[in-house]
Structure 1
Amino acid sequence: MIRGLWAVVAVWLSCVGSLSASERDTTHSLLSFDELDGWTEDNHARALDVFLNTCPDMDDPDWQALCALGQQKPDPKAFFELFFRPVVIENGKDALFTGYFEPELNGSLQRSERYRYPVYRQPPESKAHSPWLTRREIETGDAMRGRGLEIAWVDDPVELFFLQIQGSGRIRLPDGRVIRVGYGGKNGHNYRSVGVEMVRRGIYEAHQVSADVIKNWVRRNPAQGRELLFHNPSYVFFRRVDRVAAADGPLGAMNRSVTAGRTIAVDPAFVPLGAPVWIEKDGANPIRRLMVAQDTGSAIKGPQRADIFFGTGTAAGRAAGKLRDPGRMVVLMPIQRAFAMLSETLP
């Protein structure tokens, strides 16, 4: 039994969040929980635990009220069914699921012949000028050198490129210690996919491209490969993250650890960070699971676009790199917010 239930409910029933212009350009469809494929079979307790990890940081009163209710340890499935409504948010584009992971690179705190590729902090001038220098200009020019902006040096420029795509990772030092780095900013240029560029150039067919395929081709063709990586002008800077335990996941956009198999990165213009999202991923290995929108990504754009977090290390990276599947995302919204979104869609 949830103590003080209706007192708390009264708070959020009167609170309807305002809708952004981007939300008003979309359509919103209300579903019942019976229409969610596989809903009854999921581990709702696990989903609730992940939701409670970040919901204290949600600002709106209706979300805060639901977070307080969830912390009273209700029946997890009943909690979601009683206080949320499933909403499909669409803008005419097909759903697309990809995967991401936390890479682990070999590196050092000192530069050497082996460890010579720098992991940079963000220089202050790049914050004042957007867009700033391109990837090519940063890596081939002198703007970053001799300024003490290096967090560490790693031994593989290809892995460093993919570390920037993931936005966070671990660096294993020669003495066995591990440091963690998180997203620290970017140069302001739009992300451009090197996989799409490989297809455009006729190097591979679209179904052949994966992270491992890209890495192997770049290593086999170092000169052409470097030019291929320059096709993406976006450059990500990092910050050292020392407060996260090694057993926990990396920090997401909500500055909390993300959870393998339960965290997704979304476009916050459409999906509120911290919201539960029902995933119906099709393809070779279907997923039917309640996840939580706790992260973002520069390539994640649109209401039916999500990146699923697979965990840390090589195996997680291989699984994430293969994922590119259709399906459907359904956002669980507080009841009054859900009906408010529906009214915005009506003529």
Structure 2
Amino acid sequence: MRGTSHQNGRRRWPARIGAALSFVLLAACTPPEAPPGLKVSPAAYSMLPGWDADAFDGVVPALLNSCKAIAKQADDAEIGPKALGGVAADWRQPCAAAKELSGTDTAAVKGFFERWFVPFQAEDVRGNGGLFTGYYEAEIEAAKSPDSLHMYPLYRAPKQAVTFTRAEIEAGALRGQGLEFLWLKDPVDAFFLQIQGSGIVKLAGGGEMRVGYAGNNGQAFVAIGKLMIAEGIIDRKSASMQTIRDWLRANPGKAQAMMNRNPRFIFFREVKENGPVGAMGVTLTAGRSLAVDPAFVPLGLPLWLDTTWPIAHGAIKKGSPLRRLMLAQDVGTAIKGPVRGDFFWGSGEEALNFAGAMKNPGKWYMLLPVTAAARKTLNVVDIVSSLK
């Protein structure tokens, strides 16, 4: 990092703020004001389980994506509910410093976050534990025109908002408006593409296209997996995206009726970026991007995740600690609550294996920009100055 001071436009900070700040904040901090239902408590990097073990691979590009979105906002723009993530001006210097990182020097990346961000533990005030699921970018086959194999349309968003249910749309409510722009082989693929919100399409005749979320029909989301468990169709212990998909494919006579019980319908657009785009408008990073509830968590914020692996991975056993730095860069219809996250695993069947099996308890810590965190403290500038 360069420079000898931290300037936010109103006050100048001591150069040695980084090493001592987490300790000072832990000892003399008024927690940031949080949305109802969220409890935010001062923490220190020594409290983050596994902090010293993360390789931080992929973190810097993911953070810079957050920075791109925040850079477009005015200095006084509030980041997150109740300005929990500070204002956009608080991100200017951390983001500038991040551009100087190579992203491959683990010690440098770790030191960067310890210098520019301050950890706070985030909890549900009701005492409920956190829940972490996974999602992925589907890979499917499609054609640009219908034929005997490709008969199930993917729709663009209508110019005017619609409230037709899934069943009504599947029955032809939007037919004849020229909204169909891709045709799939499998209605189950179309359904799961809507659940995930983005995908890579392998085009018949060669080439591929990336598609992403373009809108919805305004209907409430219903998780058919919960319905299938409640009705004894699938077992709770074995329930996953894969088991739901397998049942739908094995029961074509009942599949559409079951899918129609989720009335929410998603429209798509072609995406030109080199990866799926999240709610922040930036490309998601596999293994580093997280979907959150923006009613509680500021989009763009670094989060230290403490959960477990959903399946075995090489020498890593199922249930082993999964602890890493993530970026809150997306949202999801079913992602609701103070400590609720959806882990982006990447693209294809391997990513599906992880995402489909993930429904794990855990907790997280929010990393707030240092100036935003300091404004929540009691005389922190004078205390830090005395530590020189």
- TM-score bracket relative to the smaller structure: 0.7 to 0.9
Q: Secondary structure at the match of 1:299?
A: coil
The alignment's TM-score, normalised by the length of structure 2, stands at: 0.79
Q: Secondary structure at the match of 2:300?
A: coil
2:254 equivalent to 1:244: no
Quick one: which of 227, 230, 233 aligns to 1:197?
227
CA contact (8 A) 1:12 1:65 kept: no
CA contact (8 A) 1:2 1:69 kept: yes
Query: CA shift at 1:173, angstroms?
Result: 1.0
Q: Secondary structure at the match of 1:260?
A: coil
Quick one: which of 272, 293, 298 aligns to 1:272?
298
Superposed CA offset, 1:93-124 (max 9, x none): 32111111110111100011210111001112
Identity of aligned residues (%): 39
- Give the number of equivalent residue pairs: 328
Unaligned stretches of 5+ residues in structure 1: 14-18
Tell me the distance in 1 between the aligned counterparts of 2:372 and 2:68: 18
Q: Secondary structure at the match of 1:181?
A: strand
Query: CA shift at 1:43, angstroms?
Result: 2.0
2:48 equivalent to 1:36: yes
The alignment's TM-score, normalised by the length of structure 1, stands at: 0.88
Query: Residues 98, 25 of structure 1: CA spacing in aligned structure 2 closer, same or farther, 3 A cutoff?
Result: closer
The CA RMSD over aligned residues, in Å, is 2.3
Query: Residues 332, 9 of structure 1: CA spacing in aligned structure 2 closer, same or farther, 3 A cutoff?
Result: farther
Tell me the distance in 1 between the aligned counterparts of 2:37 and 2:375: 14
CA contact (8 A) 2:8 2:90 kept: no
- Please name the residue that 1:106 is paired with: 141
Tell me the distance in 2 between the aligned counterparts of 1:145 and 1:168: 23
Q: Which amino acid aligns with 2:291?
A: A
Query: CA shift at 1:65, angstroms?
Result: 3.1
Superposed CA offset, 1:144-188 (max 9, x none): 111110120000110111100110001111112101111000111
- Please name the residue that 1:53 is paired with: 65
- Please name the residue that 2:170 is paired with: 139
Tell me the distance in 2 between the aligned counterparts of 1:100 and 1:43: 22
Q: Secondary structure at the match of 1:23?
A: coil
Quick one: which of 274, 277, 294 aligns to 2:329?
294
Q: Which amino acid aligns with 1:278?
A: W
Q: Secondary structure at the match of 2:58?
A: helix
CA contact (8 A) 2:118 2:367 kept: yes
Quick one: which of 173, 177, 202 aligns to 1:172?
202
Query: CA shift at 1:200, angstroms?
Result: 0.9
Query: Residues 34, 262 of structure 1: CA spacing in aligned structure 2 closer, same or farther, 3 A cutoff?
Result: same
Tell me the distance in 2 between the aligned counterparts of 1:342 and 1:32: 14
Larger radius of gyration: 2
Tell me the distance in 1 between the aligned counterparts of 2:207 and 2:11: 48
Tell me the distance in 2 between the aligned counterparts of 1:159 and 1:261: 23
- Please name the residue that 2:17 is paired with: none
Q: Which amino acid aligns with 1:208?
A: S
Quick one: which of 77, 82, 89 aligns to 2:110?
77
Q: Secondary structure at the match of 1:320?
A: helix
Quick one: which of 83, 93, 97 aligns to 1:65?
93
Q: Which amino acid aligns with 2:64?
A: L
Tell me the distance in 2 between the aligned counterparts of 1:192 and 1:12: 51
- Please name the residue that 1:16 is paired with: none
Q: Which amino acid aligns with 1:46?
A: G
- Please name the residue that 1:220 is paired with: 250
Unaligned stretches of 5+ residues in structure 2: 14-31, 74-87, 103-107, 310-318, 379-388
